[in-house]
Structure 1
């Protein structure tokens, strides 16, 4: 394999014209004229245009130091060798200084290296891979075949990526299309026939089109996994494996996310080749401008606590927003000014959210519907989004929130990753997430690009273990109300309760709304059932966090009033009395109060029950002490227990350190390779075998789960699949083979094959793809063949064909161009335009058009042949009609 060419962005030397003129190949590689011996010109441009482009890039590099800007040497976009059109688009976008992830990722990508980038939310990761993508593709290619693919886990993130590519690609003729679920397949078939250069898609829909249309992806040179860990844990393994199998090995592969595990064994299937790791903000994990608060509430008071939070702390006003009032006035205006009418009918191009714009995250779509109806009945203008919502409705709801028509956006985790909402002020976690990295992505929607932001979380007793997991992950102290006068909300986890006297009226308001609205009660009932299902299937907290949560709930530390409500309430006698009442635990039950002696049977039963509970508690503590001892027997027991999520995650670091698996997942350069210095490898970019630190809490939080409630890694899944094959062979000789290969499905109320769980089919019909993996049978529905017949498209152009060789047929059939010229009609003297028609007829006679051409006039005289033909025609008609012929007159 030939060594990769050095990047022009890594050098600050000037452009040597003599080397370019006399054909120095090494110099051409340094300045982007060739790339590993392969001409980058895919659009038919001449060598002169490449030479001019290289001169412009050199001038841009020199100008970064001549203009005296504040950008450091090598740190500006001008020093990266970008073309002039792209630099103008970057300036128009508002980017002046590249962020750290852009400064480190763009040169490596331009140097044709595979990059794994991790940086916190709002750090500019999208532009970090879009800018080199546009620079490498440059112009539209006349040859068929997409050259760049960006895969996103959600539709909203794909739409946002499309917007960034359109803005930064302004001035170029690159064609970009969007392929997401929810849109018309027929429209996407038509889009694929336009020879796009860049495809932005979600994995499921892209694989659907790839299988249906039998796409050839051999022309792809650049693929990006945006929010890579989410892609790999959402059940897209089969889709990604099928897509990667069809890509050429010479492609560039890039992974970007805000939360990536330090050990990248999970991403072995991404096909990385000698990747470079960029891991920024590993210590901070969040923006320093973000302030957080946590409120301990009871399950029955959570809705009232949300109303109190929106009204008392955030201060969102009820009623229509200013933007909504202005839009209503413009719509109702009866002015005849055409300019005002166009302004009122056109959408607002500026994204101006309200001052108190807030996102509320809920666990399920049913809870989103319930909260939206509850807050609407309270007078708030809001939008809501969840996964099963129609795509057009999702876009409309988010656009309304961006434009300031709604102050609140209620959503699930579908909007937790990558969505850039400008000037977002607050984030509320109505349901506390079960993983710390989900919390990081949620709160990362605010406090972006140097702006301030707040996050508020409602904590129930069942959420306290996950709060402790978050504390261990962030490495911040846990502060309770009443501990100190000065509270740092940016660097501490400040927890406390709401003011009981103020919470009561809001709880009563919610109860009154439920009594008045029967539909709201039904929505709450459905939401509770969905939440119960979510609670059963969510990831479990670590054992140490569960143990600490019991101590925390036992000493009632979270019952102190939160410092956000002021210090005057904290010192009152009323709060002390309430604290003593909440900590009071009676020594006797209702069966023992007022009774003395052991003669009463009820007293005797309660005492016996109390003794049994104490004995069980003592034996449990002894068993816990034995389990905490690191004996070899205990180690083997934990390793063999495959049903517990905690033990699996704790053993993950051992699996990740297996040298054989790492050699398969990430290839290392040979020691004797020419030009490779093993001792002087940059540790900042070099991806080592093992992580530098061994923080178990951080590794657990960053780990990638393969979907749903199955928390095993790719290595565990591979081992499990191997064991299942062996079990199937052994079970074939056993009488209980059906029982071993089946499981009980609660939804269908019957036994189903366990293989449906392992391959992700969940009982659906599956087929084997080109890579050997199972994919949904619905991907081969034949809808593309129906579309092709309906639009009379005989075949699609093959990858590599020029656009001139095969022009795609338009959607409404063949496009004929009529060249015949018709003569105008004779002028009618009774029409008003008689003179105009007469002039047109005269011009047609002069130009001899149509019937005025020589030989085209009607001849009134018939010849002998004409008479004979007419007689034969008349005889045929008589024979056909079977009528007697009339005698001809002689």
Structure 2
């Protein structure tokens, strides 16, 4: 596998063309329609990752590309895609396919396709979960040139429609590591088995590990590896801030921070948009409600939200109708909103890689940005892991508090809202319960970071620089003295019982207690085990871990150690629905005379590609849609041939089925022509007039004598 690092540029033509404004893309030999779309999109000079990847992709080589978030990776595969497809070919099937992990990222990529490919006649469609399958059946029958899809729904359509992907020439896996992390390995294997061998495959991601086994298994042929900005995982224009607080203070700290940011950016023409990341959807709804009470326009987004509602929320934020977007980690990857200037981590990210993706929503494309992370005492091990991952030393002076006087104002305001709004208290209780469940599933920090955090014993008493003045020195000294004060009297001396005996014991062991405290302040007490390790590490022990061990460990996708931590033995379900599910999984054994567990093997079917997948993918919806819409078994042509003869779809509308040479069987169509509709209406009007004439006017029934 060839590799291009960021030390030298293997394509000097693109580098020389960068000297003139706007000549970077022209030096790549692109067609006029694509260059026009690039200029319409607003791209002037290619980014470093674009200068290295686009020429390689234009040569037809398979490629694995890694660059930090916000570097313009989407254009890296769209521009070669348009150049390779050239123009529309209506009779053939799809010729390019882009697979992405989330619906929001698919919508964003579809928007890029329509912008850059505006002056080409290429047709594209999106296939994702949550949309109507009948409309997706119709989109596939329209012979799109480019399919933008999420793996789960696309496999469902492949199995339902028995799709043949023989015409695919160009395949892109965007956010490749996330595709494997989300459990799409089985679906990707089935899709790759359906693809032709002569295709070109590109993999893109912001964080790719060195071990590319999982990615090369999906069918890359002699790929080129391009890794840029590997050492600096975060943008140089991103300012990271950490605010020390307690768990119960986070909401009031958030209000203080938002008010301070409004003051800092008051002179700007447009206020920066803010993304707030929370751990659970309950916190997302709670924070959105609090922001509404604080007169801060906001919307929210999480995975369980309706797809149309998710689309509306992103649209509001993208069009600057609201200032803040409260989200879970569903929006941590790929979402590109250029005006985002601030990212707030309400909860500390579970992994360092997730932190990189979260804060990467701002400081994109050369712009500056700010990231604020709320840090509690329990988050210190994760903070240490993060700095090991980034390769930067941790400085305790980076942590700062919100001044007490500012915090008390917002805490009093929150208490008042809780008294006025009865729903807030119940929402907060739900958040606390959800957070306790979230902590059970949260991956733990490394053991070394946990030990180091205990040795640090941080006590942050200074205010954060963005809040201006620090806490007074006298108050700082007083807090330190209060924290370090340890009374000599024991609990046994609170009452009069045993006072004399305890004083005698203390005077007898006073020397040992003093030496123990002195050792505790300077260094931990040595044990036999630590002595052996120290002797071994000094002279005779050779470290075997590489220098970038922490970085690669954080980037790993299917790491055995991470997976082993999540493995546990469930003795009993912790929720009512889980307990009921366990009861339903049992059946009566007549031989053993008791209820026994039964095997829960999900039914599988073997696809044409030879991959075993879940049987739920074959539901028969496509056959029902074909019978309902009178669609042909063969693909329909959307365009007329030469403008003289109508295509099959138009012939079907006129009442002909399987139109073609030797096929002229007339069938009844469900669609009516305008003259047929007028004829039915006139017939009804004549019947109504005829019935009125027959009815006698002003005469009732004769009375009986």
Which TM class, normalised by the smaller chain length? Answer: 0.7 to 0.9
Counterpart for residue 565 of structure 1: 467
1:115–1:276 contact (8 Å) kept in structure 2: yes
Query: Are the aligned partners of 1:233 and 1:704 in contact in 2 as well (CA < 8 Å)?
Result: yes
Q: Is the CA contact 1:119–1:280 (under 8 Å) kept in the aligned structure 2?
A: yes
- Match for 2:150 among 195, 199, 202? 202
Q: Does 1:150 align with 2:98?
A: yes
1:807 aligns with 2:648: yes
Does the CA contact (< 8 Å) of 1:768 and 1:774 recur in 2?
yes
Deviation at 1:185, TM superposition (A): 0.9
How far off is 1:186 after superposition? 1.0
Q: Which TM-score applies when normalising by structure 2?
A: 0.78
1:460-859 equivalences in 2 (<5 Å)? 460-481=376-397, 494-552=398-456, 554-556=457-459, 558-566=460-468, 568-588=469-489, 592-593=493-494, 595=496, 597=498, 622=528, 694-705=547-558, 711-712=562-563, 745-747=573-575, 748-749=578-579, 750=582, 765-770=602-607, 773-797=611-635, 807-808=648-649, 814=655
Secondary structure in structure 2 of the residue aligned to 1:425? strand
Contact 1:142 1:802 in 2 (8 A): no
Deviations 1:751-772 (A, max 9, x none): 899xxxxxxxx96844234255
| Aligned partners of 2:302 and 2:327 also within 8 Å | yes
In structure 2, what is the Cα distance between the partners aligned to 1:456 and 1:175?
42
Asked if 2 retains the 8 angstrom alpha-carbon contact of 1:796 and 1:808, the reply is: no
SS in structure 2 at match of 1:534: helix
Per-residue CA distance 1:226-251 (angstroms, 9 max, x = gap)? 11111110111111111111111211
Q: Per the alignment, do residues 628 and 195 of structure 1 end up closer, same or farther by CA in structure 2, a change over 3 Å counting? A: farther
Q: Counterpart in 2 of 1:399?
A: 315
TM-score between both structures, scaled by the size of structure 1: 0.63
1:358-377 matches, within 5 Å, as 358-377=274-293
Conserved 8 A contact 1:229-1:704: yes
Q: Secondary structure at the match of 1:478?
A: coil
Separation (CA, whole Å) in 2 of partners of 1:92 and 1:131: 13
1:304-357: per-residue Cα shift (whole Å, max 9, x none)? Answer: 111111112454999xxxxxxxxxxxxxxxxxxxxxxxxxxxxxxxxx995131
Which residue number in structure 1 is paired with residue 701 of structure 2? none
Measure, in 1, the Cα distance between the counterparts of 2:352 and 2:42.
Answer: 32
Q: Matches of 2:674 and 2:295 in 1, distance apart?
A: 67
Separation in structure 2 between the aligned mates of residue 180 and residue 789 of structure 1, nearest angstrom: 24
Instruction: Give the Cα separation in 2 of the matches to 1:523 and 1:514.
Output: 10
SS of aligned partner of 1:284: coil
Structure 1 position 390, deviation (Å) = 0.8
CA shift at 1:98, angstroms?
0.8
Shift of 1:168: 0.9
Q: Which runs of 5+ in 1 are unaligned?
A: 1-8, 14-60, 319-351, 482-493, 605-610, 636-649, 654-692, 721-739, 754-761, 826-890
Q: CA RMSD in A?
A: 4.2
Q: Distance in 2 between matches of 1:768 and 1:619?
A: 61
Cα distance change, pair 453–764 in 1 and its aligned pair in 2 (3 A): farther
Q: 1:264 to 1:813 in 2, by over 3 A?
A: farther
Structure 2 unmatched runs, 5+ = 1-8, 506-512, 586-598, 657-668, 680-705
Q: In structure 2, what is the Cα distance between the partners aligned to 1:217 and 1:446?
A: 38
1:162 is matched with 110
Structure 1 partner of 2:167? 219
Q: Secondary structure at the match of 2:562?
A: coil
SS of 1:797's partner is coil
Aligned to 2:243: 295
Cα 1:176–1:407, aligned 2, differ >3 Å: closer, same or farther? same
Instruction: Give distance in 1, aligned partners of 2:630 and 2:427.
Output: 49
Please say if residues 743 and 751 of structure 1, whose CA atoms lie closer than 8 Å, have aligned partners that are also in contact. no
Work out the number of aligned pairs and report it: 618
